[in-house]
């Protein structure tokens, strides 16, 4: 994406503050009109690039407007006008302003923001944002603006030179929400939930200017937590389910957007409870989003790689394939995930190929005469995602009705599937057909295979999300004679995403010769088997 010039950034703020500019309509970017959080961060990061005249204008635009009157209610100090272009008003059923309803609108602003405080602070346990100097309430400005709302940070940081910086702030909201995709008080409700969580984030946890998407996905998720009946976030989901189907990294373009990625928060919250998002933000006082999410998941017996693979599977079950009991509660309103490739399959073999980035999701559809088989693929390379390495990784998905060289997976419908990638431990795969049933989960192969006893220190046997600490392992030669048996420890693979049984070379090297071996392992949770070539 092309970086905006300083003049273009300045124009964005002029548009927000220019009362003649109307909210975005169909055909424009809805993300551009949601809130100015990302624009504010870009301006701060590039402040030195602006000319003296541009800085002077920006300083005036960012400064809180002087309003005609104010009132305090609960935790908030609300500033507004009673006449003029900023005068607030309720809307009637025809979406027209109701004359003389300014005070009634301000009453709603107070009630809505105090409800948001109750949910986000008192119920969910987030730390309240700091107030402006000399204030005992959080400041809200009601103005005629061209986006839903803005959380304006106040320099300097409250924690000095510590990173990430934290800031006091104030919020601007629109004076009627007329002409927005979600209008009237519903528009005010989701804005209050969204923007107040930005105030919490930057005031009590830290502002991550390289992880804007994490701020936005959390605030967008919070809208539905506080006001689940409104669902303004539906407007942004097409940006995820269509654009991210091309295999781009989950933290692609991390300083832009993020509303569309709120689906990840919905997935985590259903799997682990809403408290996981608060734990992630607690961790973000010192580490960025992906690392903090992984730490929060480790505390719940999982890892980011496993959760991301599950998230990828959830993204299949939307729209007409939705399962609102087991997956997204509102998934029937989410678009279908766009496949990266679609192929015809007629009783022989077909290969789908893709080039995707680290920590990405992609799907490959094989159309058959009476069915469609979808390969649901998650790349869980968290290391390169954290490094923001955007280089592509290649994957080939082969579906065949004929014999294949191992390793491959036999599917329940009689077909065979083979995944070809550089490092199979960094990929999670499953196959689903149009009946929404899992035909087969493609497990990672043993690594390394072949197992060269003179070179490799250990053999890793994948058991994925099995949390057993030990496994009984039996290794049989090609004549089915028992060559080794023993109880071995399990661990996470080096990439951190897959549970594995660790077979030390020192434990088996005196018992195995060059040849093909069959391995059976039993844990308290299940049984597993593999085929491995051994070379002495």
pLDDT tens for 450-462 read 999 988 889 999 8
Centroid of chain to Cα 62: 30
Determine the Cα–Cα distance for residues 151 and 203; give it in Å rounded to an integer.
11
Per-residue confidence (pLDDT) for residue 528, from 0 to 100: 84
Per-residue confidence (pLDDT) for residue 439, from 0 to 100: 60
- Closest to 472 measured CA to CA, from 434, 529, 432, 405: 529
User: 383: which DSSP letter?
Assistant: H
411 close to 461: Cβ distance less than 8 angstroms: no
Per-residue confidence (pLDDT) for residue 440, from 0 to 100: 54
Q: Exposed, middle or buried by CB within 10 Å (0-12, 13-18, 19+), for 271?
A: middle
- Domains in the chain (CATH in brackets) are 1-16+32-63 (no CATH), 64-207 (3.40.30), 338-433 (no CATH), 458-534 (2.60.40.3080)
Higher pLDDT, 1 or 263: 263
Q: Quote the tokens at residue 27.
A: 């055909």
Centroid of chain to Cα 370: 34
Determine the Cα–Cα distance for residues 236 and 232; give it in Å rounded to an integer.
8
Terminal CA-to-CA distance of the chain, rounded, Å? Answer: 52
Determine the Cα–Cα distance for residues 338 and 398; give it in Å rounded to an integer.
19
Let me know how long the chain is: 536
Q: What average pLDDT does range 473-480 have in this prediction?
A: 90
pTM exceeds cut of 0.85: no
Determine the Cα–Cα distance for residues 175 and 102; give it in Å rounded to an integer.
9
Half-sphere exposure of 318 (CA within 13 A, CB side): 23
Centroid of chain to Cα 498: 20
Confidence of residue 24 (pLDDT cuts 50, 70, 90): very low
Confidence of residue 26 (pLDDT cuts 50, 70, 90): very low
pLDDT per position as a tens digit, 103-148: 999 999 999 999 999 999 999 999 999 999 999 999 999 999 988 9
280 close to 211: Cβ distance less than 8 angstroms: no
**The Cα angle at residue 239 between residues 236 and 241, in degrees rounded to 5:** 110
pLDDT per position as a tens digit, 188-213: 999 999 999 999 999 999 999 999 99
Higher pLDDT, 252 or 439: 252
């Amino acid at each position: 994406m092309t970086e905006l010039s300083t003049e273009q950034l300045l124009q964005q703020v002029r548009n927000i503050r220019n009362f003649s500019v109307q909210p975005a309509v169909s055909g424009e970017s809805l993300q551009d009109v949601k809130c100015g959080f990302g624009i504010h961060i870009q301006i701060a990061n590039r402040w030195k690039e602006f000319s003296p005249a541009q800085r002077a204008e920006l300083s005036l635009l960012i400064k809180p407007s002087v309003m005609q009157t104010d009132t305090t209610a609960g935790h908030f100090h609300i500033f507004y006008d009673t006449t003029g272009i900023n005068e607030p008003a309720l809307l009637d059923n025809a979406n027209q302003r109701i004359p003389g309803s300014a005070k009634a609108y301000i009453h709603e602003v107070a009630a809505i923001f105090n409800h948001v405080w109750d949910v986000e602070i008192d119920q969910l346990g987030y730390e309240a944002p700091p107030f402006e100097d000399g204030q005992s309430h959080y400041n809200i400005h009601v103005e005629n603006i061209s986006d839903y709302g803005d959380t304006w940070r106040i320099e300097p940081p409250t924690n000095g030179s510590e990173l990430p910086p934290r800031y006091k702030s104030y919020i601007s909201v629109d004076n009627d929400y007329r002409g927005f995709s979600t209008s009237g008080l519903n528009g005010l409700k989701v804005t209050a939930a969204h923007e107040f969580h930005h105030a919490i984030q930057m005031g009590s946890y830290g502002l991550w200017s390289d992880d804007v998407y994490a701020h936005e996905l959390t605030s967008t998720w919070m809208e539905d937590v506080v006001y689940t009946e409104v669902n303004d976030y539906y407007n942004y989901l097409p940006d995820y389910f269509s654009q991210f189907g091309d295999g781009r990294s989950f933290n692609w373009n991390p300083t832009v957007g993020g509303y569309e990625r709120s689906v990840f928060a919905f997935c985590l919250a259903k799997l682990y409870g809403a408290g996981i998002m608060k734990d992630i933000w607690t961790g973000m006082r010192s580490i960025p989003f992906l690392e903090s999410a992984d730490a929060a998941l480790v505390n719940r017996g999982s890892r980011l790689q496993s959760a991301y693979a599950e998230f990828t599977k959830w993204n299949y079950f939307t729209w007409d394939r939705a399962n609102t009991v087991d997956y997204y509660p509102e998934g029937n309103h989410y678009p279908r995930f766009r496949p990266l490739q679609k192929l015809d399959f007629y009783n022989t073999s077909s290969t789908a190929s893709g080039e995707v980035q680290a920590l990405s999701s992609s799907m490959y559809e094989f159309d058959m005469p009476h069915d469609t088989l979808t390969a649901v693929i998650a790349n869980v390379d968290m290391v390169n995602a954290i490094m923001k390495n955007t280089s592509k990784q290649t994957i080939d998905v082969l579906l065949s009705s004929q014999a294949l060289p191992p390793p491959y997976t036999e599917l329940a419908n009689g077909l065979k599937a083979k995944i070809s990638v550089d490092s199979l431990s960094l990929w999670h795969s499953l196959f689903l057909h149009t009946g929404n049933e899992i035909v087969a989960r493609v497990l990672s192969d043993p690594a390394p295979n072949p197992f060269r006893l003179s070179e490799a220190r250990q053999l890793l046997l994948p058991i994925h999300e099995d949390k057993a600490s030990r496994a009984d392992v039996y290794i049989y030669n090609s004549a089915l004679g028992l060559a080794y048996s023993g109880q071995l420890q399990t661990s996470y693979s080096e990439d951190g995403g897959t549970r594995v049984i660790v077979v030390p070379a020192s434990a088996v090297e005196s018992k195995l010769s060059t040849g093909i071996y069959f391995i059976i392992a039993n844990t308290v949770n299940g049984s597993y088997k593999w085929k491995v070539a051994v070379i002495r």
